[in-house]
Chains A and B, each alone.
Chain A
């Protein structure tokens, strides 16, 4: 029935789906958002920092909301290179970051997505389709319904819902994207990782004192080195929430398949070893683990992306499109989800005005995405992604800088060696000048 037809059905109530929904509601479009969890955020896991200021576009002055869904804003950033007993950190803390809109927000998805879904409900209530647009939870979309090659709706159980367009924001395990042939049925492990994480609760005073937090200010710390990941491709993270920390690892699945058997360790043994690392264990002392979680995440390599991000009547947004970047500067995924969700919705809004939801109209989404920071960075930073997985950078550099620092910072009551000599010794032990020059050139090119 035509009057029951939606302008758009959004599959998935994570950040990409909710951002699309909020954009559609504000533009007075009639849509249905379907989330399989009990509420938005119930199925989502992230590290996680939402970088950038896109949230302010969606929810202007969100920080004035007393119950805004974020935990803390990032004021303090650390990147630590570790060997088996030491950590050498780049450390930047600045009051510059204290003024909103904040440059980064630590979030817990179960809370953040649920809050954002509340904003969607408010926008629906204020729209022309207050009675018709809908956020439906606890429903699993099983099939994308097509007619003459065009996507015309979705099926959940016995129920079929029709729409002019469908936005797939189903997350990295993008089964529906595969169903319509935009992604292969079997996606190999090569460019995918598993994020494994614990939320550890502290007395708030202890947390603030330990991590130098004030009010809502927060810290992000990433860790690089073979001793962090038991030699597996990847890295570690620690982010401060209001009353807890999120701590965990991102580990390449292909590398785990090849290496875990040799060590006999399981993925959670690797997490245990990280938590017991000499530079980590005193940071988490006295805390209580309140949740253990894990989820697959893209590694930022474009080669894992779907063949195309649109087709007749359908658009793919967020991690369903494997939109994620780990350039070494930050792990960005939630901002990409938000931005691509907004762009997908804008494409639908324009298509509605034209009355054209064909592939050639949906293609505008691709163009918008290519012109945005999302695909510009995905295209330009591939060198950085490959560099991060380079053995020299992952293993040798952390060992080298830690050995250098051990000599440099140790006062022995002996004649001091020239710094150049100390560095030369560390280079000879862990790498070579040639390898370092190569890495330097690659790094300069990549960023």
Chain B
């Protein structure tokens, strides 16, 4: 069976408020902490939706749009950089599972 890439996988996810251009972020990440004091930058590997990425300078970047609301990052980050909330049903992002 052909393995799917992460973008193909996320392409199967039904996101909310997809038509809205500017959704309200439900997770805030102080990437300054990731890029100064954090030694492991583990969110870039544990996030199942690839919301945390490393650039060629090994700097962490975060986007909430692809988030599937799993919660992993709020436990994995032991540096206090992740402020996690549930997305607002009206103006936030987040998911509706078809199967779950």
Stretch at the interface among A17-25, A262-270, A352-360, A418-426: A262-270
Contacts of A8 in B (CB 8 A): none
B9 and A253: CB pair below 8 A?
A: no
A43 and B69: CB pair below 8 A?
A: yes
Contacts of B100 in A (CB 8 A): 41-46, 108-111, 113, 291, 293
B25 contacts the other chain (Cβ, under 8 Å)? no
A266 and B45: CB pair below 8 A?
A: yes
**Closest beta carbon of chain A to B12's beta carbon, Å:** 5
- A268–B90 alpha-carbon span in the complex (Å): 30
A402 contacts the other chain (Cβ, under 8 Å)? no
B76 and A256: CB pair below 8 A?
A: yes
Contacts of B88 in A (CB 8 A): 140
**Closest beta carbon of chain B to A393's beta carbon, Å:** 24
- A276–B4 alpha-carbon span in the complex (Å): 12
Stretch at the interface among A52-60, A125-133, A191-199, A363-371: A191-199
**Closest beta carbon of chain A to B62's beta carbon, Å:** 15
**Closest beta carbon of chain A to B17's beta carbon, Å:** 11
**Closest beta carbon of chain A to B58's beta carbon, Å:** 12
- A256–B72 alpha-carbon span in the complex (Å): 11
Contacts of B89 in A (CB 8 A): 36-38, 138-140
Partner among B12, B13, B48, B85 whose Cβ is within 8 Å of the Cβ of A268: B48
Within 8 A of A (CB), among B55-100: 68-72, 74-76, 78, 80, 84-90, 94-100
Contacts of B94 in A (CB 8 A): 43
A110 and B70: CB pair below 8 A?
A: no
- A295–B94 alpha-carbon span in the complex (Å): 13
Stretch at the interface among A96-104, A279-287, A408-416, A435-443: A279-287
B1 and A281: CB pair below 8 A?
A: yes
B31 contacts the other chain (Cβ, under 8 Å)? no
User: Which residue of the partner chain B has the closest CB to A138?
Assistant: B89
Q: In the complex, how many residues of chain A place their beta carbon closer than 8 angstroms to a beta carbon of chain B?
A: 57
Main secondary structure of the interface of B (DSSP, over half): loop
A149 contacts the other chain (Cβ, under 8 Å)? no
Within 8 A of A (CB), among B7-40: 9-10, 12-13, 16, 40
User: Which residue of the partner chain B has the closest CB to A37?
Assistant: B96
Stretch at the interface among A76-84, A116-124, A181-189, A310-318: A181-189
B72 and A291: CB pair below 8 A?
A: no
A41 and B97: CB pair below 8 A?
A: yes
Within 8 A of B (CB), among A280-309: 281, 284-287, 289-296
User: Which residue of the partner chain A has the closest CB to B3?
Assistant: A272
B84 and A173: CB pair below 8 A?
A: yes
- A113–B98 alpha-carbon span in the complex (Å): 12
A172 contacts the other chain (Cβ, under 8 Å)? yes
Partner among A36, A113, A261, A292 whose Cβ is within 8 Å of the Cβ of B12: A292
A296 and B97: CB pair below 8 A?
A: no
B97 and A293: CB pair below 8 A?
A: yes
B45 and A261: CB pair below 8 A?
A: yes
A446 contacts the other chain (Cβ, under 8 Å)? no
Contacts of B96 in A (CB 8 A): 37-38, 42-43, 110
**Closest beta carbon of chain A to B51's beta carbon, Å:** 12
Given contacts A140-B88, A253-B75, A294-B72, contact A260 B99 (CB under 8 A): no
Partner among B10, B50, B71 whose Cβ is within 8 Å of the Cβ of A173: B71
Contacts of A146 in B (CB 8 A): none
Contacts of B75 in A (CB 8 A): 187-189, 192, 253, 296
Contacts of A109 in B (CB 8 A): 97, 99-100
Given contacts A256-B45, A286-B1, A296-B75, contact A194 B99 (CB under 8 A): no
- Chain A CB count within 10 A is highest, among B44, B80, B95, B98, for B98
Given contacts A261-B40, A296-B70, contact A276 B3 (CB under 8 A): yes
- Chain B CB count within 10 A is highest, among A43, A196, A284, for A43
A175 contacts the other chain (Cβ, under 8 Å)? yes
Contacts of B97 in A (CB 8 A): 41-45, 109-110, 291, 293
A295 and B71: CB pair below 8 A?
A: yes
A75 contacts the other chain (Cβ, under 8 Å)? no
A72 contacts the other chain (Cβ, under 8 Å)? no
Q: 15 A-B contacts, Cβ less than 8 Å apart?
A: A36-B86, A37-B89, A38-B16, A41-B100, A138-B89, A173-B71, A175-B86, A192-B75, A256-B76, A257-B76, A267-B72, A268-B6, A286-B1, A291-B100, A294-B72
Q: Which residues of A contact B (CB under 8 A)?
A: 36-38, 41-46, 108-111, 113, 138-140, 172-173, 175, 186-189, 192, 194, 196, 198-199, 241, 244, 246, 253, 256-257, 260-261, 265-268, 272, 275-276, 281, 284-287, 289-296
11 further A-B contacts with Cβ under 8 Å, apart from A260-B42, A261-B40, A293-B100, are: A38-B96, A44-B100, A45-B70, A108-B99, A109-B97, A110-B100, A261-B42, A267-B45, A267-B47, A294-B48, A294-B68
Q: What 10 A-B pairs come out closest when comparing CB atoms?
A: A109-B100, A110-B100, A294-B48, A292-B9, A296-B71, A260-B45, A173-B71, A189-B75, A257-B42, A294-B70
